[in-house]
Structure formats: C-alpha cells, structure tokens
A and B are shown apart, each in its own frame.
Chain A
C-alpha cells in the first residue's frame, strides 16, 4: 500500500485551475453572497486544526450558473478534504457536477459525478442528453486500480455507506478508494475531463420552459442539496472546527 506524505498530496485546486487550466476561456467572478449569506469567511480560513479555502464563483457573462465552488480544507497536516462543484441556476436542468476528494496518507476517497436532477428512469431523454456523453470516459477511467481490484469493478459499491448518497449518483459515477500516487493523479485527470464535458453541456443548455418539468426538477435538486447539507458526515467535522453557522455556509458552497 502506498503512503503519501501530506506535503506530497495532490494540490487539488492548483492542479485543476493551473495545470489543467479547466476554466481557461472563462472569467470567474467571486460570488460574494450565497443563500443570503456573505461567503467571504469561506474564501480563506485558518484555525488551530484546519486551514484552507472554499471559493465560490459565477462565470462572467453566463446567467446559467448558480455557483462554481472549488476548495480545500487541510486538516492538521494529515488530510485534505477537497471539492469542486458546479451547479446550474434554477432555470436549467443540468446535472450537478460534483467531486468530493478526501485525501489521506494511505488513500483518497473520491466521488466524481454528474448527479441527475431528474429521475432518469422517467426521463430517459435526460440521460441521453446529459449523462450518456460520459460513457466513454467512464469506461476509460473505471479501470483505475482501486475502482477496479483484481477484475472486480467496485464502482457500484460506493465507498460511503449512505443510501441517500448512492441515490444521488448517476450511472457514470467514478466513486471509490484509490491508493497509489500516480493513480490519484489519474482520478484527478478524470475529474477534469468530466468537468470539461459539463462545461460543454452548459454552453448548449437552454432554459426550461415547461413549468411542471421545472417543478419536478427543483424538487429533486432541493432534496439532493438538503441531503448533502444536512447529512454529509463531513458537515459534522466542519461544525466542530468552525461552529454551526460557518459550517453550514461551507457545506452549502461545496454542495
């Protein structure tokens, strides 16, 4: 089993923004208020136990975005809890792009996915439009050691045990535990490639015109957001470090 020292752990935000230039061609504008709250306390934080940032943005000239958040929480020089989230505004039915990246010396625990905001059994056209474009990437990256071990592909066996979280996943989630250092970088590459697909879909997205469809979409979207904001065990850790109010802000930005 590989062990990666804290200093050698993936520089998540830097890798995505600088090395992979995910947002090249987009101008990110800081999102100063979210859900009526000042987001600035999240932009940079430092406590005896944790340092880091959760930076929320909008995209200049694009009214289709609710938020783009990228962040890292470094915990006692032992672990990094990183995330990138891209959520479309309520007039658009794009899936939620989410990556949770928890890195410790022996492994990362990661989930990267387009979480559908509609029931894809009832709306197969939604799956075809927004999720099936991930098919090639999913097949390419599902073989990363950790996602697949000795011919057993564990992607359906989410590392987190919570049924509500599994319910939010698409058929193309990349989800599991990965150990080796070079494989962690491959997962990051997969995350960036998924994000690029999402940004391309964003360009083509049209506002929803059917009010019943929109109501259905918002119901599911709100349920997902509520689950992650209220139930994600990471939220409990944040509460201990930052207190209830700040923790709620941070979790809302991450999901």
Chain B
C-alpha cells in the first residue's frame, strides 16, 4: 500500500513542469529530456531545468523515437509529416504523407534503420536516407498498422495489424515475409532483443505471443484494459506490461517463455490501471505509471513501492535515460516530472 501522508520522491529529488499538452513520449539525449506533445511542439528540457519549445508539427505529435545517431529525435504527427529534430532545435522533414497520420515510429542504433507506421504502410529509412532522398522503401500491409517493433540488432521488423503480425528484414525492400496469424486486431507490439519472441496487445485486451522460429502461439490473458506499454528488463528475462491494476511481468527465462508460468504481479493499486511501465536500464527497478497520475518505483519481492509522484492525470509517457540516473514522466494534462536518481544517493 502507498502511504498517502508520505512525501513523494519528485518533491524531494526531482522537479515538475507544466506544458499544457499531453506528451506522447519522453526521449532522452544524455541527461536532457525531450518531450513530444499533443500541441505539435517538441520541448527540450535541459538537466538544469531550462526549457526550449520548438514548434515542429501543426497537429498532435502521435509518435516519436530517438534517431539512430543518438543525438537527435524523430517525430511523426497527424499532419502527415515525419521530422528529425536536432539538439539545437532545428528540424528537417524526412517524409510527408499528406492527410495520413504517422502513428508509429521505431529506430535502431544497431542497424541505423528508422521505420514509421503510416496507415497501411510500414515506411523505412536506411542509414543515410535524409529528407532530400526520402524514405528508402515501404511495405504494404493489409490493414492499418497497430504497432511496430525491431529486434535488438535492428534488422527484423514486426508489424502488428488486423489478423496478426508480419515479420520482415527491414533493410531489404524485397524481404520475404513471415506471417504470424491470429484472429483479432493486434495493436502495440514488442520483440525480445534476441528476436525469439514477438508479443502483441489485443483489442479485446490480453496479449498474444509467438515463439520463433517454430511459431508456437502463446496467449496471455486476464487484463482489464488494453496493454499499451511493454518494457523488457536489461537481461531480457522479464517483460513488464500495462493494462491491469498491477504491472504484469511475464518470465521469458528458459526455453518455453511464459507458458505454464504465472506472471509476477507488482504494485497493485485497486481502482487504478497501469498505463506505462519502464524497466531501469541497469538494475531491476521498475517504474510504473497509473491512470490516476501515480508513479511508483518497485522491484520483484518488494511489497512497498516507492511513491514518486501522485495527483495528476493518466500517465502517458514514462522513460529512463540510458545511464538510469533520470526518470521522466508526463500525464494527459501536460504535467511533467523528472526524478534525479543521483540526488537520492
């Protein structure tokens, strides 16, 4: 249980900001947080707390990821544009899709690929492709893309859609496809770093997974809401998921993945729903955000989660910087929090 009288960590070791628009993502370049917002702007928040606003899109930013170079970010909006925003706030248009929405973006520093989900197309930029050259190639998908995921090498791409997942080797325009079929509408998806597992969130709630290469199906059910957030721990042994009153962690240790093993349930809060999960990059800590604005830190075996923040709206973005020294989150109402883990020590 969370003690209501306790001071939150953000008060003692962090800071808050109000941006007035819902953040779609919090991305980190070193210790600086980059927030992509529902008003189309990108906010650069330095570690010293200075904020610069860069108007990039004319509508909402629906998707964002770090550029493979690690020094800039890529944003996609409901204005049909994909932009690369550099550390000094300049931006370059990588692609333009008119009235289609850019709803998904993934990129890999290992392969240098950037992939966008735009309606029924997965659009790929190979390393070196810029706004001048446009996208390298595209894959047509039978229905609107629900989610994208790359494996650890950044080569294999999973595209979730109605009726399952299509797997391609994304660097190659003519890549063969592996069809992972399962009835229903598949939304957010994730792939284990070793590329052995693909997991999707279903419209009806619950997860569906496939083990590769034998395509064995896995079903993970019991969620009260759609899963929108996945996070693998640093060793790739646990997959944390949102969509219930607690964070639901599935074990991918061993050969058969989560089959026949009950999930680990962490930091249950009755009446609330977990909306975001983020494993610490260098420890077993898990950050959890809920639909009532609460953010906690916990780990397996810990029955007293640390209260990081409370009192806001549903958490829509939550992430750690690479060093694991900063945790950032944002809620639907546009309230942002940053926790300085170094200050805790």
A binds B: no
Measuring CB to CB, which residues of chain B are less than 8 angstroms from any residue of chain A? none
Measuring CB to CB, which residues of chain A are less than 8 angstroms from any residue of chain B? none
